[in-house]
Structure 1
Amino acid sequence: MMPDLHELDAFAAVARHRSFRKAAAERGVSASALSHALRGLEERLGVRLLHRTTRSVTPTEAGRRLLVRLDPALREVAEALADVSALQAEPAGTLRLNVPRPAARLLLAPMLAGFVAKYPRVQVEVATDDSLADVVGDGFDAGIRFGENLAGDMVAVPIGPPQRFVCVAAPSYLAARGLPQTPRELLDHACIGRRFPSGHRYAWEFQIDGELLEMEVTGPLVFDDDALMIQAARDGAGIAYVYEAMVREDLAAGQLAAVLDTWGAPLSRFFLYYSGRRHLPTALRALVDFIRA
């Protein structure tokens, strides 16, 4: 007859604590009940798993081998049961997100009011950060990143529509400096640069007929914030390379004009991502389902 899960769990608890008393307190049962379960397990397996004396409890060689294999399996079972229970639980608790500022403005901010209205027991903390922090290491539940080049143990969920970058400038700037016809002509223009917190300066990307071209541009202004880049472009300081979704109203109103529109950069999109190696909190599961819906 195969041992049951209760007996295996009892053995693992006693072997980890090396004490029937401590394991019993953890399980909320009596030490005698654990001792009885252990005797039944050893009889079924036909092997001694624990050395018992009046002063100590230690695993035998067979017990050590079983514990090494059993502990991860029991954790998997516990997480599976927690997942099932979570389906019935109302999402609650604090949800900490690490999000680049463009994603926070374009995608997250418009949906948060609806999310917290649906899940009033969830508190969302958003840290806007363009430095690509270590989400797991820094204690966040999830992050948002552009593109899906993530570590193999991370789960990526598309959030929002594909995003496109565009070059824009004020009509007054183009009237004074002329309209560039190819990306290489940008080298003769005042380009408003973007620098990441790491110190890396962003290269502008263009594509036509399947050809991908990266341009290292220069100019009098460099920012780490899209809003400042767009304002500088509106003021006629030069050409900016920004998310199209951020300048649609300016383009429609004529405050900005598109530059090199036929050389559009490849579309990409943002992804919500989180560790696939741990149990998903109910609040994060609710956000994932909200995004997918």
Structure 2
Amino acid sequence: MLVRIVVLLKYVPDITSDRRFADGRVVRDPGEGSLNELDENAVEAALRLVEAQPDGGEVVAVTLAPPTADIALRKAFQLGVHRGVRVSDDALAGSDYFGTTAALAAAVRRLGDQAPVDLVITGMAALDGLGSVVPALLAEELGWPQLTLATSVSLDGSTLTITRESDDVAQTLAAPLPVVLSVTDSANSPRYPNFKLIMAARTKPIEEWTAADLELDPAEVGAAGARTTTVEATARPPRPEVELVVDKGEGGKALAEFLIRNDLV
């Protein structure tokens, strides 16, 4: 069975950088961003599923972002992804989760018009927002079953089976293809790029699709269609100075006085 998998990727700001807002949006400096780390688990899951099939298959990476996101797509190429698509249009700027999902679903449908798509795989969250809602919204938009937060994945014919672990419980769930799947960071260990793929990724073509290509209504996506907006964002206040106490047998007393002085008890 030849399997065709779409992996959704996100270019995110470096979580150690000085993240900031401008005009209600996160500033995405190309020098300070990278492929969302949790999406590497999604790429690895897709590659393993394709490699396990006798007839192989294709892994297509899709991202919704400006051209700066090519950094993320080229990293995916280095890992072994076969094809990259960037949905990029000023009309999509400022999209919330719903607008983002509508655009990604339209991209999946367009890929499906070219050849059937069996799976859409995402990571468990994007580290810049930690919303974790896109897989569920996408499944609803496409009308597909969803298997989320998988810690292990297997494909037997046209049935996808996952294990989901929560506290002291392990669930085994299965659904027929096509499926929307999300995997956790414990589902696998992402591979390291090899030199041949690193070199090839530099010149590998990236397809660019616009809102018009996807037949999206500008009134329903981007800032115009957003159901939520950022009204104001301020920097986190600096941490107060740390009070150091040399414990000469009076540490407990000093701690109690500190808690009382700051109305913490």
TM-score above 0.5? no
Q: Looking at secondary structure, tell me which structure has more helix per residue.
A: 1
- Greater C-alpha radius of gyration: 1
The higher-RCO structure (CA 8 Å, 6+ apart) is 2
Output the TM-score relative to the length of structure 1.
0.21
Output the TM-score relative to the length of structure 2.
0.22
